[in-house]
């Protein structure tokens, strides 16, 4: 269970608003988790408090200096105890719910955020993992660190009003969620699917399973190909396909 998360960044104040509000803020104010952002500049030793320099071999941009990072890591582990040390970087392993669950079992995390074009490769001698939040380019590791903290905070028991953990398991089982509706039952000519108002819970369960399957096939073929379909799943998919106008069956193919 996570006790504390330390963060090393040149913009520690970026974390303040996020730590105050929402689920993360609630987890922190309840004392469920302690989050401490630290300024990398406090671990520099030169007069200008330098945290970056030009890359050996040339090229554009700047590279985060190794030494301030290493000093910060050492100081924080001495002060607060051993932590699982994670560097946020676009070259890291993709963040998944499975990895979030694994990290949620640690007592302490130490997150290292980079800026500029990247970090000195030797940082890997001092850290346990390198994590990315997806294949898009941000300006630094601060937002990815906040994404990770948010995902971890909602797994702390008592942080969410209703425990989502079982639903999460179903996401981990590999399907997107079914569509949801609330009041009104009709809006601007768009009605809520009648089955959801029927009170027939077995039919509702089947409809939701069918929608989850169809959506996943349409939007996330990568997830869909990894799912093991039950006999019922196959029937629900076949029934959906048969209902769709403009379908082409084998018989129609010349
Ligand atoms: C020219 C190569 N660039 C990588 C595509 C260099 C580079 C750009 C931006 C290196 C670091 C960054 C800042 N991004 C992060 O630190 C980062 C990140 C991201 O940009 N996307 C997804 N996950 C993450 S985790 C850290």
CATH number, position 100:
3.40.1280.10
Residues in the chain: 254
For residue 235, the model assigns a pLDDT of 98
Q: What distance in Å separates the CA atoms of residue 70 and residue 129, rounded to the nearest whole number?
A: 15
For the cut 70, the answer to whether the pLDDT of residue 249 exceeds it is no
How many CA atoms lie less than 13 Å away from 223 in the CB half-sphere?
Answer: 18
For residue 21, the model assigns a pLDDT of 86
Q: Which atom of ligand 1 is nearest to the CA of 114?
A: 16
Ligand 1 centroid–CA 166 distance in Å is: 33
Name every residue whose Cβ is closer than 8 Å to that of residue 12 and which is 6 or more positions away in sequence: 37, 38, 39
114 lines ligand 1 (CB under 6 A): yes
For the cut 90, the answer to whether the pLDDT of residue 132 exceeds it is yes
Exposed e or buried b for every residue in 153-174, given b needs 16+ CB within 10 A?
Answer: bbbbeebeeeeeeeeeeeeeeb
User: Are both 32 and 140 inside the same structural domain?
Assistant: yes
Mean residue pLDDT of the chain comes to 93
34 has which bridge partners? 4
55 lines ligand 1 (CB under 6 A): no
- Higher-confidence residue of 161 and 42: namely 42
| Banded pLDDT at 171 (limits 50, 70, 90) | low
Residue numbers of the domain that contains 28: 4-153
3 state DSSP class of 152: helix
Residue 142 near residue 14 (C-beta atoms within 8 A): yes
For residue 164, the model assigns a pLDDT of 60
User: Are both 35 and 133 inside the same structural domain?
Assistant: yes
Residue 86 near residue 111 (C-beta atoms within 8 A): yes
Give the mean model confidence (pLDDT) for residues 212-238.
98
Ligand 1 centroid–CA 251 distance in Å is: 51
Per-residue pLDDT reduced to its tens digit, 2-30: 999 999 999 999 999 988 887 788 888 88
Name every residue whose Cβ is closer than 8 Å to that of residue 82 and which is 6 or more positions away in sequence: 108
| Phi, psi (rounded to 5 degrees) for 44 | -90, 165
For residue 170, the model assigns a pLDDT of 58
Per-residue pLDDT reduced to its tens digit, 20-70: 887 788 888 888 899 999 999 999 999 999 999 999 999 999 999 999 999
For residue 162, the model assigns a pLDDT of 64
For the cut 60, the answer to whether the pLDDT of residue 117 exceeds it is yes
For 46-142, list the strands marked E by DSSP. Answer: 52-53, 63-64, 84-94, 108-113, 129-132
Q: Give the helix ranges, DSSP H, for the chain.
A: 16-20, 22-29, 66-80, 97-103, 142-153, 165-172, 201-219, 221-226, 231-243
Ligand 1 centroid–CA 60 distance in Å is: 14
For the cut 60, the answer to whether the pLDDT of residue 252 exceeds it is no
Q: What distance in Å separates the CA atoms of residue 140 and residue 62, rounded to the nearest whole number?
A: 13
Ligand 1 centroid–CA 252 distance in Å is: 50
For residue 250, the model assigns a pLDDT of 65
For the cut 90, the answer to whether the pLDDT of residue 159 exceeds it is no
For residue 230, the model assigns a pLDDT of 98
User: Are both 139 and 20 inside the same structural domain?
Assistant: yes
Tell me whether strands 190-191 and 186-187 are parallel, antiparallel or unpaired: antiparallel
Q: Of 153, 178, 199, which residue is a domain's last?
A: 153
- H-helix or E-strand containing 4? strand 4-9
134 lines ligand 1 (CB under 6 A): yes
Tell me whether strands 63-64 and 52-53 are parallel, antiparallel or unpaired: antiparallel
How many domains are there within the chain? 2
Give the mean model confidence (pLDDT) for residues 190-211.
98
Residue whose CB lies within 8 A of the most ligand 1 atoms, among 40, 89, 127, for a mutation test: 89
For residue 28, the model assigns a pLDDT of 84
37 has which bridge partners? 7
Ligand 1 centroid–CA 230 distance in Å is: 40
Q: Of 121, 153, 185, which residue is a domain's last?
A: 153
3 state DSSP class of 253: coil
For the cut 70, the answer to whether the pLDDT of residue 91 exceeds it is yes
For residue 22, the model assigns a pLDDT of 78
Per-residue pLDDT reduced to its tens digit, 176-193: 999 999 999 999 999 999
Question: Which residue has its alpha carbon closest to ligand 1 atom 6?
Answer: 117
User: Are both 68 and 132 inside the same structural domain?
Assistant: yes
Residue 250 lies in a domain: no
């Amino acid at each position: 269970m996570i006790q504390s998360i330390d963060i090393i960044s040149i913009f520690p104040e970026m974390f303040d608003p996020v730590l105050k509000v929402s689920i993360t803020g609630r987890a922190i104010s309840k004392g469920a988790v302690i989050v401490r952002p630290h300024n990398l500049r406090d671990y520099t030793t030169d007069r200008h408090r330098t945290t970056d320099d030009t890359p050996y071999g040339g090229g554009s941009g700047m590279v985060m200096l190794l030494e301030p990072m290493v000093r910060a890591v050492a100081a924080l582990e001495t002060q607060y105890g051993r932590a699982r040390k994670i560097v946020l970087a676009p070259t890291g392993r993709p963040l998944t719910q499975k990895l979030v669950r694994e990290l949620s079992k640690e007592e302490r995390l130490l997150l290292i955020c980079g800026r500029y074009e990247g970090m000195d490769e030797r940082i890997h001698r001092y850290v346990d993992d390198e994590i990315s939040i997806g294949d898009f380019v941000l300006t630094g590791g601060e937002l990815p660190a906040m994404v990770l903290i948010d995902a971890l905070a909602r797994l702390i028991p008592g942080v969410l009003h209703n425990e989502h953990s079982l639903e999460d398991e179903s996401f981990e089982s590999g399907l997107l969620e079914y569509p949801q509706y609330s009041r009104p039952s009709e809006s601007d000519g768009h009605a809520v699917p009648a089955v959801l108002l029927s009170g027939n819970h077995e039919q509702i369960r089947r409809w939701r399973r069918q929608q989850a399957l169809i959506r996943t096939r349409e939007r996330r073929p990568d997830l869909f190909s990894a799912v093991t379909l039950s006999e019922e799943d196959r029937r629900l998919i076949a029934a959906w396909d048969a209902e769709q106008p403009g379908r082409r069956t084998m018989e129609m193919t010349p």
